[in-house]
Structure 1
Amino acid sequence: MDCKKPISAIRLFFLAMTCFFCVVSVIGQSKNERNQIQKSYNKEQLRSLIFQFEKEQLSKDTQMKKLLAGKGWKQVEKTSDGTFVELNDVGDDGTPLFYATLNSPSSEVSRANSLYTNGALELGLNGTGMQVGVWDAGTALESHQEFDVRAFNGDQSESVSSHATLVTGTIISSGMKPKAKGVAFGAEAFTHDWTRDKIEVAQAAAAGLLLSNHSYGIKSDRVPDWYFGAYIRVSQDWDKIMYNAPYYLMVSAAGNAQKSFDNEAPIFGKTADGFDLLLGFTTSKNALTIAGANTKIDNRGELKEASVTTYSSLGPVDDGRIKPDLAGDGSTVLSTSSKSNSSYETSVGTSMAAPGVTGSLLLLQQYHSELFGNYMKAATLKGLVLHTADDVGSKGPDYKMGWGVINTKRAAEVLQDKDYRTYMEETRLSQGDTLIYEFKASGDLPLMASISWTDPEGEYVNRGELNSTTRALVNDLDIRIFKDGTAYLPWKLNPNRANDAATKGDNLVDPYERIEIENAKGNYTIVITHKGQLKNGIQDVALAVSGVQVSNCSTEVPDRIELTSFDEESAMLGWAESEDTLFEVQYKASGAASWEIEYVYENNLTLEELEMDTEYQVRIRSICTENKVSDFSDEYQFWFNGRDTEVIGYETFSFDEPLEISVYPNPATNYITVDAALSNDAVYSVVTSSGFVAKQGSATEKINVADLASGLYILVVQDYAGIKSSKFYKN
């Protein structure tokens, strides 16, 4: 059901004057997280931008009323193929801009399922505690059984849209019907009517919104040819929002016009080739524009085949930037319908590809927060998924699927390996600066380095020039890699030869650059510079590097543990040395319920205040990062008796079956139980994702987890048959 109830322009203006940021103030995760996001924002600039959009909206409303009356058009219509169309804007040249939904009647394609409980990475992620914004032809049906109480009407619109319900379900459906399960099935969605999209998004971004999905665009058969690929006022406005709210990222569908023949004067080729069809905010520099892909994924989550769908709108944009940026699942997707609280529909199109990507990005933000205690800036998140996408077809990017098919699993692995085998940094380039980094190639993977930045809005706005090549890029940053006098350059594309494979050279147009070196060996120097003057004198930039040896740390289990000396109150332990490795040493008197824990970088530790005539147990593990941790060593035992201390050696047992455990329920709310054959002496430790012990005790009883914060944990169980661990998620 699609219905509209108009809101008067006077009332909208009054709302704007009384409250700039109140419309969606609940968006932006927790209050502390919103504060963390907002502290880097210039609120005055955002306030001014929102006020500007409000004034323009009043003017556009007047223009649209005159057009509707003069032409005898309907403001809202539903076409025979189910597309929802509405006059929603007027171009600077007076062209009426009709917004249209982009379905043509996901988690496996994006590999987001690798991040779930029992997924390949076993991270227990599902989006719980995260919020996403959805703007569409109306709001989603909040009462649908798949949404529980996790879908909200973000702008009090009375328009319930089937398309918005489909899109929202692709992101957050809980999976009551398993095949309709959303990518981030524990997240909350705030859905909105598209009528005031720029204003509401600016308000939400100012309040801490991280991501929004836009599976609609300008209807391609109702604009002059110069609009295709052009950087217009709409493109500029969205870039302004993202530049002024640098944690916010817009995700938009590329469109389904490939076979429309709507652009009779493309920048490359003939109309039938399907190039140069992107419109409106899909040509923004800072957003992610998503193409639709047909894919074949094996049971290990590896991409075997991929091609752009026959409907997905192709780039380039007129200045030659790489658009679309990325591809998602554009095949037939089952999702929620607004016909009833238990109805479902299937749909194809970039409308479904975009929310699949949005849900994956939400999981990556959740994972980064769990690992490092904060969220990525939008440029970092965007750079991460472009850095890790599955390359498709010819090497490098193209104008059909951008950098390839999103690979959420690989992106999560880059986060896991941070400061171990990958390097990520959010930094700042000031006028005249040069940033220099030295790395040693790991030797087993290609060396890849990329930079991503949220660029200031373009200064040139096209108002009627066909295929204008004027660059939208404002701050032109450069990345280069050097080794033994050889300079390695980034990928780039040529819009005048849009069907050609990517080449390497000086990229003058994209706010993302990536360099790849196959069979890299030895040491390399990465240099980041800029051309000309930086607007505002500075530019934040995100660097991602993979295929390098950032640390010499080893996750080998520590061995050669021995007592090197002892006196009346203490004993010194030693073990094999390992460079750049943090060691966790746990020790206790035999029979004690809990372990004493010490952390050292040296390969020795003095155990203080030991009790006489007492048997002690020691175990040690290596920690390289918060996510690269070895198993514990076998337990080393000694009988402490001052200078008469005796070494017992390593604890050894003989069992027919190794220790195997599982945890239920998972996810857990109040208690978990260990499912295993355990002795009465079995003990457990609940370990955080950063490697610290949250609680310990007997593993034969129910374990109370009600007092733990929501997140991913590792349950470590020790018994005579050995040590085993299992991950669980606390709701």
Structure 2
Amino acid sequence: MDCKIPTWATGTFTSLTFFFFATILIYGQSESQKELIRSSYNQNAITDLISELEAEQKTKVSKLQQFQSKGWRTMEKFQDGTVIQLKDIGTDGTPLFYTTLNDPSRQVSRAHTLYTDGLLDLGLDGTGLDVGVWDAGVVLTTHQEFDGRATNGDGSSEVGLHATLVTGNLISSGIKPNAKGVAYGAKAISHNWTRDKIEVAEAAANGLLLSNHSYGIKSDRVPDWYFGSYIRVSQDWDKIMYNAPYYLMVTAAGNSQKSFDNDVPIYGTNADGFDLLLGFATSKNGLTIAGANTKIGSKGELEEARIAAYSSLGPVDDGRVKPDLAGDGSTILSTSSQTNTSYDSSTGTSMAAPGVTGSLLLLQQYHEQLYGTYMKAATLKGLALHTADDVDAQGPDYKMGWGVMNAKSAAEVLQQIEYNSLVKEETLNEGEAFSLTIVANGIEDLMASISWTDPEGEYINRGELNATTPALTNDLDIRITKDGETYFPWKLNPAKATSAAIKGDNLVDPYERIEIDAARSEYTITVTHKGSLKTGAQDFSIIVSGAQISNCRAEAPSGLEILSSSENSTTLTWVEAEETLFEVQYRAYGADDWTSQLLWENVFELSNLEIGISYEARIRAICTENIESEYSEEIQFEFNGLETSLYEYEAFGYDEDFQIMVYPNPAVEWLTVEAEMSNDAVYSIVTSSGNIIKSGQARGPIDVSCLASGLYVLVVQDYAGMKSTKFYKS
């Protein structure tokens, strides 16, 4: 069989066989996997960064103590779990008060489709994976929902209601079913927000994949130029993620849409609610999560979605797409810190963020199960943006970014790698271009995205109102071309924040996506860059969906029949298929276990068969490690150890008066012989190649339900002789 072997199937069949049996046994992020991530980092650069952050922290603590000594109220707590605390000093001397972002998820992100018995039935729950949680105080680790899976990461003694609510939305086991967390088998490592940057940098250097931050700068205590600005804290977080490229920060957008706090937004008036993102919510490399009110259908489809009335809107001042995604933040039931068995409901982007974080953790778990590695943060982020449910006008907006998180669609893209999707991690060297040619599958829109973890921005705002200087450092570009036509990515204009996205040269975002409706035939995807690249190269991830990567089709093979027989073997054949791996299964009829064999050819010899034993066989097509067809109809035969052909049966002598008829013809379930026969008459069903596949007493109905569709010969033998007739099994 002449075919191109897909990249996933190169080498021996051992790796493929290992997939079928071993992936079930691999759980969680092992120490060896963490070491693999650690060894890929420049640990000296991370160590230097941590030292810088430590020095900055000492200076900051000293300045904060001065405010306290002047009688400032540096912390406030409220009954609903909200905490306000003086935590930082801006470069202009502004005291920065941080606040938790609840406003007195699982289904919206479609994480539930990934569980055991979910729509995809993937058995994912986050088991063995760690997620970091930084918040005002630490989680109540002894709550009944955590089963020892919530730990205090920094020894803080201050147990927080808000931290417990957030952590419950992430990992609660579901003792109270409505409070079940999104990644209910994962472990949460909880920290107080006091030393967040330092602790995150240390954890990321040691292989942490994700952390959740449901807090931010309080919007009514900063001057207007802070809104949408790329400031020192934005830069610090980008630097952490750039130096630890497997680590992704997820943060809440905030709940200030109706605050009227920004009197001079980059668009509209303070009543419109735009331009309200602050601090690390404006970082380039993390994910900023808005709150949405949604309705999800029974098949996981998004039926309705609108931005929640509390959720802070973008844009950021340089025009990047922020927020990035939306999640469910509306009246989420979760764990409370009052007692080990108490629960409470909370609303806000504080609860939308962990819903997305937990879903991302499940996608990391799934990628590791499928392919043995974890995705880089740029890949994970790009996958989430690529597969989000678009809302309202096509393309991104400044309310919900690229749309509502859809873990189901993201998991399906991972399943279909090398079939109709690509997810590749590449490096673009300065002055070079990356290019690939793909064929659209003609079934869905063709989409191609690039995502990269960008070096920290060199410009930070120190007081300029609505400064539009881009924070982007390495400007990569994706283009798709066909027959002289060039397709461009989406972009937004902060000066027209309510206008629909347009297509053009995107100068600000470290994620770009091109969509081609009703795509047909062949396209070329090219990735280039503008100017010079910091360090001379930039890692990036490319994601493509709606393509025909393989000519394989996940359809049950047809035409399964017996080709020939010898003394101890029978050879099967079926219709060949391009770029398709076949799995043949066979067993003695009625046995419990199948014997399996993988092969590229459409012919297979079953050896060491026993005369007089009935056998059954079936086959399926395998297109990737995760895409396979249903099994074909089973074929049954009784092995006789003879080389026979159809003409032998037609040449047998018989009494001219011995005549037979069969009905119904075509047969579906049963076949009846009509003839003058004795009680000792026997029948044999013979294939077109002359092999007996079934035999027995001829009187009474004959069960043909197990036969594959096709033409057969029925041979009846009695004292009067032997007679044959043809019938068709439909």
- TM range, normalised to the smaller chain? 0.7 to 0.9
Q: Show the counterpart of 2:510.
A: 511
Q: Show the counterpart of 1:727.
A: none
Distance change in 2, residues 1:555/1:722 (3 Å): farther
- Paired with 1:206 and 1:483, the residues of 2 have a C-alpha distance of 43
Q: Show the counterpart of 1:46.
A: 46
Residues 28 and 127, structure 2, Cα contact 8 Å, conserved in 1: no
Distance change in 2, residues 1:653/1:393 (3 Å): closer
- Paired with 2:503 and 2:39, the residues of 1 have a C-alpha distance of 38
CA apart distance, 1:593: 5.1
Supply the AA of the counterpart residue of 1:138. Answer: G
Q: Show the counterpart of 2:154.
A: 155
Q: Show the counterpart of 1:470.
A: 469
Residues 234 and 280, structure 1, Cα contact 8 Å, conserved in 2: yes
1:499-552 superposed Cα distances (whole Å, 9 cap, x missing partner): 111111000000000111111122211111111111111111111111111111
Q: Show the counterpart of 2:133.
A: 134
Q: Show the counterpart of 1:307.
A: 306
- Paired with 1:28 and 1:182, the residues of 2 have a C-alpha distance of 17
CA apart distance, 1:254: 0.3
1:110 match: secondary structure: coil
CA apart distance, 1:251: 0.3
TM-score (norm: length of structure 2): 0.83
1:352 match: secondary structure: helix
Counting matched residue pairs gives: 628
Residues 28 and 208, structure 1, Cα contact 8 Å, conserved in 2: no
Q: Show the counterpart of 2:429.
A: 430
1:620 match: secondary structure: strand
1:4-33 superposed Cα distances (whole Å, 9 cap, x missing partner): xxxxxxxxxxxxxxxxxxxxxxx9832122
Q: Show the counterpart of 1:549.
A: 548
- Paired with 2:529 and 2:118, the residues of 1 have a C-alpha distance of 42
Residues 161 and 338, structure 1, Cα contact 8 Å, conserved in 2: yes
Q: Which moved more, 1:591-600 or 1:371-380?
A: 591-600
- Paired with 1:82 and 1:264, the residues of 2 have a C-alpha distance of 28
TM-score (norm: length of structure 1): 0.83
Q: Show the counterpart of 1:710.
A: none
1:166-213 superposed Cα distances (whole Å, 9 cap, x missing partner): 000011111111111111111111111000000111111111111100
Q: Show the counterpart of 2:207.
A: 208
Distance change in 2, residues 1:57/1:634 (3 Å): same
Q: How does 1:211-290 map to 2 (within 5 A)?
A: 211-290=210-289
- Paired with 2:593 and 2:298, the residues of 1 have a C-alpha distance of 41
Q: Show the counterpart of 1:329.
A: 328
Q: How does 1:526-675 map to 2 (within 5 A)?
A: 526-568=525-567, 570-590=569-589, 594-610=593-609, 615-640=614-639, 644=643
Distance change in 2, residues 1:520/1:278 (3 Å): same
Supply the AA of the counterpart residue of 1:42. Answer: N
2:107 match: secondary structure: helix
CA apart distance, 1:96: 1.3
1:139 match: secondary structure: coil
CA apart distance, 1:38: 2.0
CA apart distance, 1:130: 1.7
- Paired with 2:385 and 2:352, the residues of 1 have a C-alpha distance of 16
Residues 64 and 89, structure 1, Cα contact 8 Å, conserved in 2: yes
CA apart distance, 1:82: 4.9
CA apart distance, 1:215: 0.2
2:604 match: secondary structure: strand
CA apart distance, 1:553: 0.8
1:63 aligns with 2:98: no
Q: How does 1:176-215 map to 2 (within 5 A)?
A: 176-215=175-214
Q: Show the counterpart of 2:692.
A: none
CA apart distance, 1:472: 0.7
2:108 match: secondary structure: helix
Supply the AA of the counterpart residue of 2:165. Answer: L
1:320-361 superposed Cα distances (whole Å, 9 cap, x missing partner): 100000000121111111011111111111001001111111
Q: Show the counterpart of 1:697.
A: none
2:267 match: secondary structure: coil
- Paired with 1:305 and 1:351, the residues of 2 have a C-alpha distance of 21
Residues 252 and 290, structure 2, Cα contact 8 Å, conserved in 1: yes
1:226 match: secondary structure: helix
- Paired with 2:291 and 2:423, the residues of 1 have a C-alpha distance of 29
Q: Which moved more, 1:241-250 or 1:589-598?
A: 589-598
Supply the AA of the counterpart residue of 2:340. Answer: N
- Paired with 2:630 and 2:382, the residues of 1 have a C-alpha distance of 33
Residues 28 and 34, structure 1, Cα contact 8 Å, conserved in 2: no
- Paired with 2:467 and 2:569, the residues of 1 have a C-alpha distance of 78
Distance change in 2, residues 1:527/1:640 (3 Å): same
| CA radius of gyration, larger in | 2
1:114-168 superposed Cα distances (whole Å, 9 cap, x missing partner): 1112211111212222211100001110111111111111111111000000000
Residues 249 and 287, structure 1, Cα contact 8 Å, conserved in 2: yes
Q: Which moved more, 1:121-130 or 1:386-395?
A: 121-130
Residues 82 and 105, structure 1, Cα contact 8 Å, conserved in 2: no
Q: Show the counterpart of 1:717.
A: none
CA apart distance, 1:610: 4.9
CA apart distance, 1:92: 1.8
CA apart distance, 1:640: 4.5
- Paired with 2:311 and 2:510, the residues of 1 have a C-alpha distance of 23
- Paired with 1:333 and 1:79, the residues of 2 have a C-alpha distance of 18
Please, which runs of 5 or more residues in structure 1 have no aligned partner?
1-26, 656-719, 724-731
- Paired with 1:162 and 1:269, the residues of 2 have a C-alpha distance of 36
1:652-691 superposed Cα distances (whole Å, 9 cap, x missing partner): 9969xxxxxxxxxxxxxxxxxxxxxxxxxxxxxxxxxxxx
2:59 match: secondary structure: helix
Distance change in 2, residues 1:80/1:264 (3 Å): farther
- Paired with 1:488 and 1:626, the residues of 2 have a C-alpha distance of 32
- Paired with 2:533 and 2:621, the residues of 1 have a C-alpha distance of 44
1:143 match: secondary structure: coil
CA apart distance, 1:615: 4.5
Q: Show the counterpart of 2:99.
A: 100
- Paired with 1:104 and 1:143, the residues of 2 have a C-alpha distance of 26
Q: Show the counterpart of 2:380.
A: 381
Supply the AA of the counterpart residue of 1:416. Answer: Q
- Paired with 1:83 and 1:160, the residues of 2 have a C-alpha distance of 13
1:544-600 superposed Cα distances (whole Å, 9 cap, x missing partner): 111111111112112212333444555433211111111011234456554332211
Moved over 6 A (4+): 720-723
- Paired with 2:578 and 2:382, the residues of 1 have a C-alpha distance of 31
CA apart distance, 1:721: 9.6
- Paired with 1:531 and 1:164, the residues of 2 have a C-alpha distance of 43
- Paired with 2:475 and 2:438, the residues of 1 have a C-alpha distance of 24
Distance change in 2, residues 1:78/1:329 (3 Å): same
1:190-245 superposed Cα distances (whole Å, 9 cap, x missing partner): 11100000011111111111110000001111111111111111111111111111
Please, which runs of 5 or more residues in structure 2 have no aligned partner?
1-26, 647-666, 671-703, 708-730
- Paired with 1:64 and 1:28, the residues of 2 have a C-alpha distance of 40
Q: How does 1:403-422 map to 2 (within 5 A)?
A: 403-422=402-421
CA apart distance, 1:381: 0.7
- Paired with 1:205 and 1:228, the residues of 2 have a C-alpha distance of 28
Residues 636 and 706, structure 2, Cα contact 8 Å, conserved in 1: no
1:31 aligns with 2:19: no
Q: Which moved more, 1:188-197 or 1:365-374?
A: 365-374
1:126 match: secondary structure: coil
- Paired with 1:596 and 1:108, the residues of 2 have a C-alpha distance of 40
CA apart distance, 1:86: 1.1
